[in-house]
Structure 1
Amino acid sequence: MGEEGEDPQRLKKIAAAAYDYDNDPRWADYWSNILIPPQMASNSDVVDHYKRKFYQRFIDPSLVVEAISSSSSSQGSRRSAPSSASSTTTSEHVGSRSSGTTAQTSGSSTTNPSSMGIDRQTLLFSINAWVLVVAVLAIFPLIPKNLSSRAYQLTFMGTTLSSLISVYSLYGKPRAWNMQALQAYFQSVIVTEDFMNFIFGLTFLTAPAYFRSALIPVLCHTIVHLAKFLRRNFTRSTLYRRYLEEPCVSVESNISTLGILSSQAEIALGFLILVSLFSRQRNVLLLFMYWQQLKLMYHAPATGGYHRSVWAKIGQTILPLVHCYAPFLNGLLSAAQRWWFR
């Protein structure tokens, strides 16, 4: 009974952690109005706490946010007192040797996770750089058809691989391989942007027809990832400052624009697949899978804001025309809306 009661809150906390706060302008205003000491503002636990409070206020009021506990700091002070007392009773030689060994072990323990993180990020950067190159080859109109088709497949292969690596590095693997554990795992992962990119890449990698417009969301996501990586790791490079700093700054300042462009391309692609049912390239399974993915993108916190804004504009344009010139479609639209919001 206790685990069943905690599962919804655990999933809500995972969704709150996966929410894209950087692309939500309300988060910047919310964080700027919080008055806390600078040493607390640099603490990741404190930032995560206020992110959960922001998520509770603006996204999901049912999320339970616990207060920040000071037990860790008190435990740290209690641990330091006995160690300092014991160090004064030992000899100077032993104390210096023990302090050297502890410093060495602590240094090694702190550098290993960071080096692993850098290796993972570097791997993702390399794959995304490769995806950018082959995506440009696939979308450029003057490239020979055979090379363009091969680049198209390699683009979605790289997108699928990088998204899968990102999902695994952030969420690991399921705790067990039974149905209950797999269901809990996928419920926590399915709302993340990386998992949706994985499904997107896998869908068009295995699709029998080529849709060049599907490369636009891939390019948007790849450019944003590359710009963020370069800004974090190459700010001291002369080559970066001379040639890449302005494009990277421009990309980071227009992340919302790229998100809207990606959402528009994804929604337009859904209608293109729908229209393709009247051609020789019809694929009912692809239509069903992709519109299920569009529905997920609409409701997921990471992409829902962009998709809802695009769908709102489409509704403001299309619905009056349907009511005026094609009222017989009202029943079909009502059924589609019931399925969409279910």
Structure 2
Amino acid sequence: MATLEAFRSFDFDGDERWRQYEANIEIPPGRDRDSVLKKFKAKWYKREIDPDFDIAQAVPASSASTAPQRAHTSRDVPKESTDASAASPPEHQSTPAAASPPPTPTPSASRKARPGKTASTERNLFVLHVLQLLLGLGAVQPLFWLVSARSWKAFLAVSALCHLYKVIIKHGVPQLRPFPGALKQWVLPASSSTDFQYLMLCMLFLQSRPLALVVVPIWTLALYHAVAYAGSRFGSTRLWQQYGAKLQHILSAYQGQALIFNAAAEIGAGILLLLGLLTPQRSIMLAFVYWRAFLPTRYNTPDAAGYHRQVWQIIADKTRPVLQAVPMLRIPIDFVKRSFDQPR
């Protein structure tokens, strides 16, 4: 099956998130490390890459029954999106499915147990992702301004709903009592996910003028998720095998580059907001919140930090000659860098 082939061809060694996760796996003495790692790879792949992946394809039942009681990690590595797929970047993505059942939340954390993924929720998410793709194309098309403006607001509204849905799937519905302790207990883990951050991004720009680079990362993750679901649902059809499987394979092969591309788009949107301060359409508050809250959060979120740091390093390399020629520019840059490096 295409999904199993994607799992076998996935570059685990080249994925920084897997390496971080693997470093925290503790395997009890006497266990076969290769078989245990294979099981954890399958679980991690299902949680981070393809929620529709069948672990039994990679780990036979006999192997699963002899799995460790269990080997565990000292921490859970956050993912780029709670719904990432075999063809999907692990946010993102505003991603926002776990291989093993999440810890049961305390009554103060949520009103009910986390619902997790079901066939109906996956179908609902697929519909939302398709709407994101259509509205995103309408928002960035340059021919009809009215269509672009209306599609922009509809895209952000649908995307906010989609990411809120994913956050609730993963973290449950927050409880307000006792306030504010219960809400804080829910927000702390939820806010570290790409889906929560993209939800805030959508709300932040909902009343602003269209900005294409804001659409890019959300749209990219929606594409990965939609293709993954379509592959699991229609993978046996001849039409999908001729066209869809090839697209899914290409997306899977370039998922790392897609996440770097998303990080570049997020940073690029921030730069456009700064340049927009020189125009009559400037939004000082929007630019301030984006640079003071959203970008630093992405920079320090484990599932996005590596990609953001790569993009900032590229920018630093490209601008080094300018900074050497105009040393005064280092003052605001150093100020921004310090604000990004502060723990959050």
For the criterion TM > 0.5, the same-fold answer is yes
**1:35 equivalent in structure 2:** 34
Write out per-residue CA displacement over residues 44-82 of structure 1, whole angstroms, 9 at most, x where no aligned residue: x96995555795xxxxxxxxxxxxxxxxxxxxxxxxxxx
Equivalent residues in 2 for 1:251-290, closer than 5 Å: 251-290=251-290
Distance 2:254 2:136 in 1: 21
Distance in structure 2 (CA, Å) of the matches to 1:47 and 1:305: 32
Q: Which has the higher contact order (CA 8 A, sep 6+)?
A: 2
* Regions of 4+ moved over 4 Å: 28-31, 37-43, 45-55
Aligned residues: 260
Counterparts of 1:113-152 in structure 2 under 5 Å? 117-142=118-143, 144-152=144-152
Q: Secondary structure at the match of 1:331?
A: helix
Q: Relative to structure 1, is the Cα distance of residues 52 and 22 closer, same or farther in structure 2, using a 3 angstrom cutoff?
A: farther
- Is 1:294–2:295 an aligned residue pair? yes
Runs of at least 5 residues in structure 2 that lack an aligned partner in the other structure: 1-11, 24-31, 37-58, 78-114
Report the 3-state secondary structure (helix = DSSP H, G, I; strand = E; otherwise coil) of the residue aligned with 1:280: coil
Partner amino acid, structure 1, of 2:299 = Y
Cα distance, 1:310 vs structure 2: 0.4
Specify whether residues 26 and 195 from structure 1 end up closer, same or farther in structure 2 by C-alpha distance, changes over 3 A only: closer
Q: Residue 200 of structure 2 aligns to which amino acid in structure 1? A: I
Aligned to 1:213: 213
TM-score under structure 1 length normalisation: 0.68
Q: Secondary structure at the match of 1:206?
A: coil
Shift of 1:175: 4.0
Distance in 2, matches of 1:46 and 1:152, equals 49
Deviations 1:119-138 (A, max 9, x none): 00110110110110111122
Q: 1:269 to 1:231 in 2, by over 3 A?
A: same
Q: What's the offset of the Cα at 1:325?
A: 1.6
Residues 223, 251 of structure 1: 8 Å contact kept: no
1:234-253 matched pairs, under 5 angstroms: 234-253=234-253
User: Offset of 1:243 from its aligned partner?
Assistant: 2.7
Describe the superposition over 1:100-124 as per-residue Cα deviations: whole angstroms up to 9, x where unpaired. xxxxxxxxxxxxx89x611001101
Per-residue deviation, 1:22: 10
CA offset digits 1:202-248 (Å, max 9, x no partner): 222222x2212222112211111112212222212233223311112
Residue 264 of structure 1 aligns with an amino acid whose one-letter code is: A
Higher mean displacement: 293-302 or 178-187: 178-187
Q: Residue in 1 aligned with 2:83?
A: none
Shift of 1:147: 1.4
1:197 maps onto 2:198 in alignment: yes
SS at match of 2:173: coil
- Residue in 2 aligned with 1:233? 233
CA shift in 2, pair 1:281/1:172, >3 Å? same
**Amino acid in the other structure paired with 2:153:** Q
Q: 1:277 to 1:26 in 2, by over 3 A?
A: closer
